[in-house]
Structure 1
Amino acid sequence: MKSITYNEVSIDEIVEIIAKHTQKYNTDENRVIIGTDSQNFCKTKIVIVIALHTVGKGGIFFYDILNVPRIDNIRQKLITETQISLEYAEELISNFESYYEKTGYDYTKLGFTIHVDAGYNGPTRNVIPEISGWIKSCGFDCVVKPESFVASSIADRITK
């Protein structure tokens, strides 16, 4: 993955960066948020963002870019974005579990949330119950527009 601050980083390095950051701000509320957005060109460019938001203090983020065959159906695009967000979230938690075994760092205090680039005021509103249910059944909180800033602002900007 890439970072404006840390350049190229692995998921293991992201876990370590998040752990150190949250230990520095251990009295503050820290949230790990995964969000994905996509944009159609010749192919569909998908941007996945892992963000750490320290409430009241800002945050840091990491991103990855995938290019897949063009997806024109909005429902299919949202399902693909959600699937990728969940895959990255599961990998991140798996790495946090390994990090916990090595260091004792308690990652369970972090709120893990998936931000979805769908809103109740647009053409994506009909897909929200399905996507939201899927995310919640996987054990994550789900946030949609206009509050889903990781997907609808950070990832969206990188897709351009």
Structure 2
Amino acid sequence: MFKDIIDFIESNPEASYNVIIGTDSHTRDEEETCFVTAIIIHQIGKGARYYYRKNSQRKVSSLRQKIFFEAALSLDCASKVARKLSENGHSELNVEIHLDIGANGRTKELIKEIVGMVVGSGFDAKIKPESCGATKVADKHTK
């Protein structure tokens, strides 16, 4: 996957890119929660390509615990992607993390903590409605 990402970026080095990481989850049944982390490489003005990974865990019933775990999965992935980009001469590319939280709804109390965790780790954080990496791309593959 990393080779494909680097090849995609290097196929048009004059283009501008956004690198987006987002995680979403869905509790499928009484015993399992499916977490999906997406990596999106957006070539501005030309479209995007994405990759995703599914990870099933024992059911997570606490919304707070689920959101923190989503953020932790995104941070782990973002760190690996940023390191690989840097190793391949693309440290100028900014990696942003899209979070499945927003000012409306049950997650509003978590915004300060989760965004602080992401920003404190050196990444930009986006929340709803600007967090399509989590709310659209990763969400699509949780069901």
TM range (shorter): over 0.9
Identify if the C-alpha distance between structure 1 residues 95 and 23 changes in structure 2 by more than 3 Å, giving closer, same or farther.
closer
Runs (4+) of structure 1 moved beyond 6 Å? none
Mapped pair 1:37 → 2:20? no
CA–CA distance in 2 between the matches of 1:49 and 1:144?
15
- 1:107 counterpart residue number: 90
CA–CA distance in 2 between the matches of 1:138 and 1:44?
26
Mapped pair 1:128 → 2:115? no
- Counterpart pick for 2:47 among 40, 43, 58: 58
CA–CA distance in 1 between the matches of 2:13 and 2:41?
13
| RMSD of aligned residue pairs (Cα, Å) | 1.3
Mapped pair 1:85 → 2:74? yes
CA–CA distance in 2 between the matches of 1:51 and 1:133?
22
**What TM-score results when the alignment is normalised by the length of structure 2?**
0.92
For residue 29 of structure 1, report the CA deviation from its aligned partner: 1.7
Mapped pair 1:26 → 2:26? no
Mapped pair 1:158 → 2:141? yes
CA–CA distance in 2 between the matches of 1:127 and 1:107?
32
Q: Secondary structure in 2 aligned to 1:48?
A: strand
Amino acid of the structure 2 residue aligned with 1:151 = A
1:52-78 deviations in whole A, cap 9, x for unaligned?
011111110001000111111111110
Mapped pair 1:49 → 2:35? no
Amino acid of the structure 1 residue aligned with 2:97 = I
CA–CA distance in 1 between the matches of 2:84 and 2:91?
13
**What TM-score results when the alignment is normalised by the length of structure 1?**
0.83
Q: Secondary structure in 1 aligned to 2:75?
A: helix
CA–CA distance in 1 between the matches of 2:131 and 2:83?
24
Amino acid of the structure 2 residue aligned with 1:82 = A
- 1:72 counterpart residue number: 61
- Counterpart pick for 1:142 among 125, 130, 135: 125
Could you tell which deviates more after superposition, 126-135 or 19-28?
19-28
Equivalenced residue count is 141
User: Where is the helix percentage greater, Structure 1 or Structure 2?
Assistant: 1
Identity over aligned pairs, percent: 33
Q: Secondary structure in 1 aligned to 2:110?
A: helix
Unaligned stretches of 5+ residues in structure 2? none
For residue 158 of structure 1, report the CA deviation from its aligned partner: 0.5
